Amino acid sequence: MHVSPKYLSETVRRHTGKSASYYINIATLPMVKEMLDRSDLSVSQIADHMNFGSVAYFSRYVSRHLGVSPKKYRSSIMPTD
């Protein structure tokens, strides 16, 4: 887009009243949930695929937005025998 993050953020907020990160989260969280639902992908693979800088940052992001760690989220959706 060839614009600075600050300019993008200010423009989005001015036109929508919401932050750019709000819209990023709306797009990102469903993808993260879907990938965590897939048991064949490790948390590390998901973090890499989603271009997070590290697994630790990905874990903090998931915990902040879903209320639980990726491991706990994954275990909550897995059926128990």
Contact 43/58 with Cβ under 8 angstroms?
A: yes
Average pLDDT over residues 54-77: 94
Q: What is the pLDDT of residue 79?
A: 61
Q: Is the pTM of this model over 0.85?
A: no
Alpha-helical runs (H) found in the chain = 5-16, 20-37, 43-49, 55-66, 70-77
For the residues 36-59, what does the mean pLDDT come to?
93
80: pLDDT strictly greater than 60 = no
